[in-house]
Structure 1
Amino acid sequence: MSRVRIQTEDFDLSQEVARLRDTNPKVGGVVTFVGTVRDLNEGAPVAAMELEHYPGMTEASIDAIIDQALARWPIFDALVIHRVGPLLPKDQIVLVAVTSSHRGEAFAACEFIIDYLKTEAPFWKKEQTPEGSRWVDARVSDDVALDKWRVEVAGAR
């Protein structure tokens, strides 16, 4: 099973979780995050969103994020499904699912992966608002969330 899928079609949360959970009988916890399209962003109504990506580069970037999570926490596996193309409010955008023996590691790894996706993965979002279309930049709060995961190299300043 591929750990990273970039697709235009929607995903079924229960099917994806069952598939991931069933790969290992030692799984004691599955933590998931599902991101959806909001109908309001930065005070402006959002009628639609379009996501673009860099094929090949995006998958490799997300796979590297999962590798980092596997190195940091004793988790069994992770899955990231990210949609691209045109989306409407309430549509699912992204699924991050992590399996482990215990919930703590799974929660931490899931949060780590989504924080990196929000700021580092090569996706571009364009929103349709009443004033026209606009590209969406990462928010400062997303950068702050990512900072908590940065590891300072010993001796570096």
Structure 2
Amino acid sequence: MQMSLFAAFALLDKENSYKQKMQEIIRRRLQALWDNTGFTLVEDPLRVGYYTEIDMLVWAEKFYGEKFVEYLKKTYSPLNVVFRLAQETSLVLLNGGGFDGPEWSVRASLANLNESDYITIGQGIKRILDEYAEEWRKNRS
């Protein structure tokens, strides 16, 4: 039934204005999240944008090096980031490993939160990574 409604709506919206508006909202949410992580979103012409995945180990190595990555793997579970984010911001992401993504990735749906929530998520991810790095630096001394 729902697919029939979608199909009927698509036939009525001849200019695709609804579809274009939804795609623009998704793009803004994606940009809001990534702009606030401090990470670089790589251009991908095939990106649908409904979900985004951030591999924490890629960015941990880029910002802090391989020894920090080793520390993270030894000290924390890949789920720590998503649990901390939920606890500190009340925003829930999923671990990307459950979707055949990298074990240390976080996955966010771009379809169901306000744009400001994606800013909070991006800032939270960056803050958590920075706090882990600060802890690592203190433990090295």
TM-score normalised to structure 1 length: 0.31
Q: Which has the higher helix share?
A: 2
More strand by proportion, 1 or 2?
A: 1
Larger radius of gyration: 2
TM-score normalized with structure 2 length: 0.33
